[in-house]
Amino acid sequence: MNLIGSQSKIKMLFIGPKDLVEELRINVPISWEIICVNSMEEFINSPSEINVILDSSIREIIDLNLIELSNVQIIACASTGTNHIKYQANKSDRISIYSLRDVPELLRTLTSAAEFSFGLLIALSKQIISATESTKSGIWNRTEFPGTILKGKQLGIIGFGRIGSAMASYANSFGMDVCFFDPYLQEKPTNFSEHDSIENLVANSDFISMHIPYLPDVSIRPVITREMFLMFKSGSYFINTSRGELIDEVGLISAIDSGRIRGAALDVLVGEPDISSNLIYNYAKETKANIIFTPHIAGYSSENVKVATMGILDHLVKQMNRD
């Protein structure tokens, strides 16, 4: 569908680092006008009429119901997720939304999320964050933060796509055993064990890491339910760099509180970026539980942002030229 006529003036809002603007200009038709902001708040304070958005902000909420965005017809996101874009159902037939899922060949070159996820696994197993905070407070206590040896431990991966398979490779180099659950995987790896259910995977894994997308239209209930958290292997660790909505937060809290789960590392939370009322966040504040929080930065690096931004821009321009 030709959303923007060939004679239309293209005004593109770029939400992202301003040091990329000059490179953007080189890679779009000379007639395009680019408006660059660091955040949606900056744009709303000085609105301009725009019809295209290039989003490299990672998690800025883009509410297309705002009058300032009423003429937007195309959005291209330098991310895999698009659930930060809000719009009414009756607008969906006139809006095209592109994400990195539309350019899988580019996605395969981006490794930050997998590297970060494995970094969280190491931080959990070695209690690096707790030990650092304690030492910074002036306490030197070697016996309070014993680490867990990774060699010989089992890593269970939920979702064996680009990030999950990279995690498996990293774990393998540390001497860990790897198993996975992914009913949508077409080409099954032969060097890792496959489980036929999440329940079997979590019951037999020392570390569990999630790498699946959150799709609001189909993810009606959490992928890991409260009942599943009760099945986790005693003393296991949980890592989530996918989406907070994919897990039952009360179930995770109960599993940590009982000691079934020894620690968790969460790069994503329900309600982000405003986490003031998030259940797990407030539980950790009150109890000092062994939980690592990071602000949804697993896939974020300056290199990643540049490669992803230019890649999705190229896809956007090609789609518009095709139409």
Give yes or no: residues 25 and 101 share one domain. Answer: yes
Q: Supply the pLDDT for residue 321.
A: 83
Q: Is 94 a catalytic residue?
A: no
The CATH number given to whatever domain includes residue 272 is 3.40.50.720
Q: What is the mean pLDDT of the chain?
A: 91
Element (H, E) at 34: strand 33-37
- Assess whether pLDDT exceeds 60 at residue 309: yes
The answer to whether residue 25 is domain-embedded is: yes
Q: Which residue has the higher pLDDT, 213 or 289?
A: 289
Per cent of the chain over pLDDT 70 is: 93
The answer to whether residue 1 is domain-embedded is: no
Give yes or no: residues 153 and 73 share one domain. Answer: no
Q: Supply the pLDDT for residue 323.
A: 60
The answer to whether residue 2 is domain-embedded is: no
Q: Is 296 a catalytic residue?
A: yes
With H, G, I as helix, E, B as strand and everything else as coil, classify residue 98. Answer: strand
- Assess whether pLDDT exceeds 60 at residue 6: no
Task: Pinpoint the alpha helices (H) of the chain.
Answer: 21-26, 40-45, 104-107, 112-126, 128-136, 162-173, 198-203, 226-229, 249-258, 279-287, 302-322
The answer to whether residue 90 is domain-embedded is: yes
Give yes or no: residues 79 and 122 share one domain. Answer: no
- Assess whether pLDDT exceeds 90 at residue 120: yes
Give yes or no: residues 168 and 194 share one domain. Answer: yes
Among the options 243, 245, 249, 262, which is catalytic?
243
Give yes or no: residues 127 and 61 share one domain. Answer: no
Please check whether residue 104 is in contact with residue 316, taking contact to mean a CB–CB distance below 8 angstroms: no
Element (H, E) at 266: strand 261-266
Give yes or no: residues 273 and 139 share one domain. Answer: yes
Give per-residue pLDDT as tens, 11-70.
999 999 999 999 999 999 999 999 999 999 999 998 889 999 999 986 789 999 899 998
263-275 mean pLDDT: 94
Q: Is 162 a catalytic residue?
A: no
The answer to whether residue 164 is domain-embedded is: yes
238-250 mean pLDDT: 96
Q: Quick one: three-class SS letters along 144-188? A: CCCCCCCCCCEEEEECCCHHHHHHHHHHHHCCCEEEEECCCCCCC
The answer to whether residue 43 is domain-embedded is: yes
Give yes or no: residues 63 and 181 share one domain. Answer: no
- Assess whether pLDDT exceeds 60 at residue 190: yes
The answer to whether residue 128 is domain-embedded is: yes
- pTM over 0.85? The answer is no
Among the options 115, 194, 272, 315, which is catalytic?
272
Give yes or no: residues 118 and 101 share one domain. Answer: no
Instruction: Give the number of domains in the chain.
Output: 2
Structural domain harbouring 68: 11-106+302-322
Question: Phi first, then psi: what are they for 262, rounded to 5°?
Answer: -75, -30
Give yes or no: residues 148 and 261 share one domain. Answer: yes
- Assess whether pLDDT exceeds 80 at residue 150: yes
Give yes or no: residues 37 and 148 share one domain. Answer: no
The answer to whether residue 37 is domain-embedded is: yes
Give yes or no: residues 198 and 79 share one domain. Answer: no
Give yes or no: residues 251 and 126 share one domain. Answer: yes
